[in-house]
Structure 1
Amino acid sequence: SGDSAHLTLMKRPELGVTLTKLHCWSLTQYSKCVFMDADTLVLANIDDLFEREELSAAPDPGWPDCFNS
């Protein structure tokens, strides 16, 4: 497919099986949802993430031209 061609260009074919982020959109019974990758190291209290109104993302240090959401 076109998507797999794009992933090949990025040299990140493993992203084709990354569907856990999409599951967040089905958690409609909650007023807020914070998704963090399994390799995220939390070093401080993250309660303020639940106070944000907007969708937020953090840059991926391995891919400076992309955002890791």
Structure 2
Amino acid sequence: MSSPSALQRTVRRCTAVVVIAIGVAAGSVGSSRPLGPLVLSTVAAIFLLASLVYTPTWDVADE
């Protein structure tokens, strides 16, 4: 992980995992099902999956 782009990608992915965990926890704590944490978790999960599948070619060439 010598390149700055790889570090930035890792930080974004870790942030997405933390946001998913917070969203799931916030959604399960309340007695009713609030829509906000569910939407937040869903968007973070989509971002995480997209970042795992798609890696720009310029990032691969730098590593």
- TM-score calculated relative to the size of structure 2: 0.30
Bigger proportion of residues as helix: 2
Larger RCO (alpha carbons 8 Å, 6+ apart): 2
- TM-score calculated relative to the size of structure 1: 0.29
Bigger proportion of residues as strand: 1
